[in-house]
Chain A
């Protein structure tokens, strides 16, 4: 069972915020889901080991450098960027 304090910690790690009046509900829902999956922790798979995803994912592409996307395309959805960088405007909490 996780506590409200742990829920806040998870939210911080996930870069989300939970308002006070939502906290109890979110904790309850997270616990419900964790409880739902807890049956997998009871399973004893003697001898079985986790060797990464490669076997399930089939024949992966060679890890070699490929064609790069042009910088202007990468910045297109950030207003075209600023001198080749992603811009973040300096703002105060009141939006000014």
Chain B
């Protein structure tokens, strides 16, 4: 399907359905199916139906509406919605009801998007699942990293807003066989996103098709003064209707260091994708960036350091979970954090504390940041001569099986995150067990249109 969003809009336009009926259908589907996948952690029936009814009224009145109006969608639980419990997958935020909307949620509400509910996630997007893990809708024997991708794959949301710090959107999209867009850092506001690695965190899109991902990106991109890292020059013109850029003459890079440790099925699927681009006139350029061998290590240091800093505020005093038994304030904070954080999160906070401590700051943190700067510079340089880089999205066969216990397996997705570059995850094949294989297209800074166009051509296959 080229666009589920446009398909619904067409059906509403000719009176075949209404936004309210669509919302009711999706809410029913959540009720029927969510217990199989655990994709949603909270459903927002009332507000979803109200938004859908508003979109119908606007439609009836002939008002001009954005393409996201009336479309049923989901929001990851680390993106705050005013008055709606927000856990970010952690016990430490039990009872927390945000007093404001994230900027992207303001946009959704302003345009009558139908927010069906919040999706489940690993603790702060870095730990284990605090509640039951999300099951992969393709095969529920397997877990997946994120409920947002699962909700889209299960057909219980048309699209979802997710977050990506070191590849969350890219990996979970690949695991569930959907499309995932991690936009350029700063092109979509982070205001209202629960912070994990602030210098990499980015809100992005999970959708059924490249066109839908582009439609949603068009709706949420743009400068936001509430986010101090928001890019003032983010283009605001729509790109969803400009994805027919073709392939001929485009230069696509293959970075040797990002094609390693792959099983034969993944390698074959990726090679076929490369052949598709080559057969349709793209120039494939082989590259080597040895510095990328250090990307995962540098990311681990930076992620843990920023996590330890960002999670310092969870003390039980201002919001969230607080223990009832304690002897003094210090004891209260320590008990609250120990009971509130899961083991993986505790470990990362302690590692971050170690990397930032006086004796280790230069050895680890400063070194990691220097490596990061070098990675960003080298990636930006090679991107001057390429439209995109093509890489695996994740180490498919292993990360699917053991995704709950492999915190450092982000080698393919970390470079783009560290450099703040946009990336697109696309299904490009299937394993013999039926699970999807994903590929990643990394673009230039603010080069979303180029990677979405290449992805669109690949998925539509019309140039073959």
Contact = CB atoms under 8 A, between A and B. Distances in A.
Contacts of B96: 77
Given A45-B370, A49-B370, A86-B318, A37 B297 contact: yes
A13 B357 contact: yes
A50 B332 contact: no
Nearest to B362: A50
Q: 3 tightest CB-CB pairs across the interface, nearest first? A: A77-B319, A61-B228, A95-B325
Interface string A47-72: 01111010111111100001001000
Q: Chain A: interface residue count, which band?
A: 35 or more
B99 interface: yes
A43 interface: yes
Contacts of A77: 95-97, 99, 318-320
A79 to B, nearest CB: 10
Q: Chain B: interface residue count, which band?
A: 35 or more
A26 B345 CA distance: 12
**Interface SS of chain A: helix, strand, loop or mixed?**
loop
Given A29-B347, A40-B364, A78-B319, A45 B371 contact: yes
A86 B317 contact: yes
A51 B242 CA distance: 39
Contacts of A83: none
Interface string B393-437: 000000000000000100000000011100000000000000000
A10 B372 contact: no
16 contacts: A26-B350, A34-B354, A36-B408, A37-B297, A37-B364, A39-B294, A48-B373, A50-B366, A50-B369, A56-B373, A56-B419, A56-B420, A58-B185, A74-B318, A93-B325, A94-B325
Interface in A20-44: 26, 29-30, 33-34, 36-41, 43
Nearest to A60: B228
A43 B372 CA distance: 13
A88 interface: yes
Nearest to A19: B338
A91 B297 contact: no
* Residue of A56, A59, A60, A69 contacting most chain B CB atoms (<10 Å): A56
